[in-house]
């Protein structure tokens, strides 16, 4: 009497598809480790906005004082001020972009 061995190979293993997928995932993982994180240059942050007075016959938005407070690790670390232009627009530039800073 002879014994016979039956080997069942799932369809997704035939032709090395599973192995190819595993190798592809490993390559993608390795490449993601070597990609540098995208970060802004220090002092390159910008906050800009516009003040609009929607009240009919309301006062002008020109030359309004705008103050921006800076926080370092959730503690107030300073402030800077600017004025709006004729259209109510303002810009704060040269802001620190490190993760410990917020505005």
Angstrom CA distances, 55 to 52, 58, 59, 61, stand at: 9, 5, 8, 11
Question: What confidence category does residue 91 fall into, taking pLDDT thresholds of 50, 70 and 90?
Answer: very high
Would you list the domain boundaries of the chain?
Answer: 45-102
pLDDT (mean) for 9-20: 61
pTM above 0.85, yes or no: no
Residue 7 has pLDDT above 60, yes or no: no
Residue 80 pLDDT: 95
**Is pLDDT larger for residue 37 or for residue 53?**
53
Contacts (Cβ under 8 Å, ≥6 apart) of 70:
76, 77, 78, 79, 80, 95, 96, 101, 102, 103
């Amino acid at each position: 009497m002879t014994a016979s061995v039956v080997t069942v190979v799932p369809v997704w293993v035939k032709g090395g598809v599973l192995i190819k997928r595993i190798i592809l995932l490993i390559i993608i993982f390795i490449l993601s480790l070597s990609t540098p994180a995208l970060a802004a240059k220090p002092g390159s942050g910008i906050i800009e906005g516009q003040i609009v007075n929607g009240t009919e016959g309301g006062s002008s938005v020109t030359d309004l004082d705008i103050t921006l407070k800076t926080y370092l690790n959730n503690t107030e670390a300073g402030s800077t001020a600017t004025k709006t232009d004729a259209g109510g627009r303002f810009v704060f530039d040269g802001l620190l972009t490190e993760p410990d800073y917020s505005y």
